[in-house]
């Protein structure tokens, strides 16, 4: 199963950025002293205007994480699990719910908008699920 996942992700990345509506993220810590929770995942928005994902999918500098983010046409189907949660102005800014001071106007977020995060590799999948549900999200296995 693990051999299939990288192939699917490469296919999703090669699908072209022109119609990209999802964000693939690969993250690893800079230090062995920090436990990795989510290492490889993809998130997408539902109920948003086309192109809204581009606003949040960027390569921010983070001293503790080495992160590569890129827009993709869609998230790969093969996954360990998914979290679906309400999309807010805060989560639109950053999938980790951090604040942003780029000075750009954020896209409007409709009341029914959602963020769906698909996990492909996780250091502690049980903790990822706990974090999802603790934040008001709904967890789905595979």
- At 6 the pLDDT is 41
pLDDT tens string 123-132: 888 999 999 9
SS3 call for 81: strand
pLDDT tens string 61-106: 555 667 888 999 999 988 899 999 998 877 776 555 444 444 556 6
Q: Which domain holds residue 83?
A: 4-141
- At 63 the pLDDT is 58
SS3 call for 17: coil
Single pTM value for the model: 0.72
Token couple for 31: 């230090």
Query: Could you give the C-alpha distances from 122 to 13, 22, 23, 100, in angstroms and in order?
Result: 20, 19, 17, 26
SS3 call for 111: coil
Element of type H or E holding 114: strand 114-122
- At 40 the pLDDT is 92
Residue 22 pLDDT class (50, 70, 90 cuts) = very high
The domain tally of the chain equals 1
What are the φ and ψ backbone dihedral angles of 90, each rounded to 5 degrees? -65, -45
Residue 108 pLDDT class (50, 70, 90 cuts) = confident
């Amino acid at each position: 199963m693990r051999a299939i996942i990288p192939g699917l992700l490469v296919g999703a990345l090669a699908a072209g950025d022109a119609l990209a509506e999802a964000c693939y993220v690969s993250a690893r810590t800079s230090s062995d002293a920090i436990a990795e929770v989510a290492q490889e995942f993809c998130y997408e928005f539902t109920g948003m205007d086309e192109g809204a994902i581009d606003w949040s999918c960027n390569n921010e500098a983070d001293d503790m994480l080495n992160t590569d983010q890129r827009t993709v046409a869609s998230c790969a189907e093969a996954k360990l699990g998914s979290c679906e949660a309400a999309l807010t102005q805060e989560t639109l800014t950053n999938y980790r719910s951090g604040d942003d001071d780029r000075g750009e106007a954020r896209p409007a977020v409709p009341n029914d908008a959602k963020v769906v995060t698909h996990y492909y590799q996780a250091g502690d999948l049980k903790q990822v699920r706990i974090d999802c549900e603790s934040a008001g999200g709904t967890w789905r296995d595979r």
